[in-house]
Amino acid sequence: MSAADVADSVSHWPYVPTLIRLSLAVGCGVFVGLEREHHGKAGARTFGLAALLGCLGGLSGNGSAILSMAFLGVLVCFLNWRQLTLHQTLGLTTSTALLIVGFAGVFSGQGHTFTPVAVSVITAALLAWKQPLSGFAVGLSDLELRSAILLAILSFIIYPILPAQAIDPWGLIEPQSTWVTVILIAALGFVNYVLWKIYGPRGIDITSFLGGLVNSTAAVAELARRVKESGGELLAVAYRGCNLATTAMLLRNSLLLAILSWPALVSSLVPMVLMVSASIFFAWRSFKINDGLPDSEAPKLNLEQPFSLPAALKFGLLFLALHIAGTLAERYLGIFGFYAVSIAGGLLSSASAVAAAGTVAAHNEVPVQIAANGAVLASLASTLIHIPLVARVASQRSLTARLSFARGIIAGLGIAGVILHHSLKF
């Protein structure tokens, strides 16, 4: 074979793209290696060379990539054997990180840019956050761990196998659509529980707001019960907590509308903003009242567990019932029938009623404006039901009077907002 034939058989890589791929691979390896070297493990040079080895394999083709990773695997085995001989321990975390960096190098050699960078950043983050992650995992209870696993099962195993289309002749029951709202409410509750666990009972204000995200009626009932137990000493605290719980409920309902039907949120924006602003105003004013109660003595709210299957199924059945009732009411009784169902749903669960309104709007089963008004009415019903609840449980006229005044203003602004939006539209 002549020299010309040999030159023709050699693959000529373009200089600039090749240099970029090599630099990217080495940069990813060094980035992860710096974190390992900071903790006294295999350092930046080892990780940089591992990424470079993977990059050369990726540049040369699939066969060379497999060969380079196999060689890196042998190197990892040698490092672990040496670690076991000297320190009687295995460096599994560092070894895994080294193999991941090798794969990132292969991706870089094949021309990928986002994947190797993202993998390297995630790897370095997991290595650097060892203590927080370990502390969080150790602090998890069996119930919390089971709840997280159950939520994952409901989201990634059950949801994909449910029918996406309606299963009844009237087109009212869509399993996947219903299940999405179940997962959404459960996820919001789980995130709220995590926040509550992180911040702890630092005062009634935090727990009232977080409790309102889960169930504002339950939070208000708990506050009223604490007022009765204290003989009326917690009136100012309970009043502020009720307003914060209502604020959280209104914000949660707005978020549900935004996720399920953005046009419905836009149509309900004026009344929702007015109600949230009024609720925040009353809560802010109550902060000026010095009740003399330090945070350490603030009563704890008994929030629900992070996630439970009975609670999810209960919400799903309630949502489905409201969805069917609202659709049929609007179909056969007109908009006032839908409004009546929304108000009744708000008395039971404003989250379910708002989710039902957002869903029927998203599927064009009810006009967007009608669905938005239904969501506002459900939120108003949930707000007003707090008045008889507090009156019955707390048995304090002053608290009931103050709460009635605040709820009356909030409800009035909500109704005025609906009328104002309607008049601006036309």
Q: What is the pLDDT along the chain (426 residues), one digit of tens a residue?
A: 454 454 444 456 778 888 889 999 999 988 888 887 777 776 788 888 889 999 998 888 888 888 888 888 888 888 778 777 776 666 677 888 888 999 999 999 988 888 889 888 888 888 887 666 665 555 666 767 777 777 788 778 888 888 877 777 766 677 877 787 677 667 756 765 666 666 554 556 776 787 777 777 767 777 777 677 667 667 777 788 888 888 989 999 898 888 888 888 888 888 999 999 998 898 888 776 544 444 444 445 555 556 556 766 766 676 677 667 766 766 677 778 888 888 887 777 788 788 888 888 888 888 888 888 888 988 988 888 888 878 887 778 888 888 889 888 998 998 888 888 777 665
Q: How is residue 274 written in tokens?
A: 């007015």
Residue given tokens 């609840």 in the structure block: 389
Shared domain for 115 and 60, answered yes or no, is yes
Query: Which one, of 327, 408, 149, 248, lies nearest residue 256 by Cα?
Result: 248
What's the pLDDT score for residue 425? Answer: 61
- Convert 163-199 to b/e letters by CB count within 10 Å (16 or more is b): eeeeeeeeebebbebbbbbbbbbbebbbebbeebbee
Shared domain for 71 and 184, answered yes or no, is no
Chosen domain end from 68, 102, 135: 135
What's the pLDDT score for residue 91? Answer: 67
Into how many domains does the chain fold?
2
Please give the Cα distance from 19 to 16 (Å, whole number).
Answer: 5
Please give the Cα distance from 214 to 189 (Å, whole number).
Answer: 5
Shared domain for 124 and 179, answered yes or no, is no
Shared domain for 258 and 243, answered yes or no, is yes
Nearest-10 crossing angle of helices 114-128, 130-139: 60
Q: How is residue 191 written in tokens?
A: 């995130």
Shared domain for 100 and 192, answered yes or no, is no
Side chain identity at residue 86, one-letter code: L
Shared domain for 201 and 156, answered yes or no, is yes
Q: What are phi and psi of 388, to 5 degrees?
A: -65, -30
For residue 110, give its domain range: 3-135
Please give the Cα distance from 164 to 153 (Å, whole number).
Answer: 18
Chosen domain end from 74, 103, 135: 135
Shared domain for 408 and 344, answered yes or no, is yes
Please give the Cα distance from 307 to 255 (Å, whole number).
Answer: 20
What's the pLDDT score for residue 323? Answer: 65
Shared domain for 350 and 396, answered yes or no, is yes
Shared domain for 13 and 159, answered yes or no, is no
Q: How is residue 207 written in tokens?
A: 């727990």
In degrees, to the nearest 5, what angle opens at C-alpha 324 toward C-alphas 319 and 330? Answer: 120
Shared domain for 250 and 390, answered yes or no, is yes
Please give the Cα distance from 391 to 136 (Å, whole number).
Answer: 41
Which runs of consecutive H residues, i.e. helices, occur in 307-396? 309-333, 335-348, 350-362, 368-384, 386-394
Chosen domain end from 82, 105, 135: 135
CB atoms within 10 A of CB 296: 8
Please give the Cα distance from 47 to 108 (Å, whole number).
Answer: 14
What's the pLDDT score for residue 106? Answer: 92
DSSP category for residue 61: -
Contacts of 31 (CB under 8 A, 6+ apart): 120, 121, 124
Shared domain for 111 and 155, answered yes or no, is no
Please give the Cα distance from 329 to 333 (Å, whole number).
Answer: 5
What's the pLDDT score for residue 328? Answer: 72
Q: Are 369 and 426 in contact (CB under 8 A)?
A: no
Contacts of 307 (CB under 8 A, 6+ apart): 147, 148, 150, 151, 186, 189, 190, 193
Please give the Cα distance from 280 to 277 (Å, whole number).
Answer: 5
Contacts of 251 (CB under 8 A, 6+ apart): 213, 276
Q: How many CA atoms lie within 13 A of 350 on its CB side?
A: 31
Q: What are phi and psi of 22, to 5 degrees?
A: -65, -45
Shared domain for 121 and 177, answered yes or no, is no
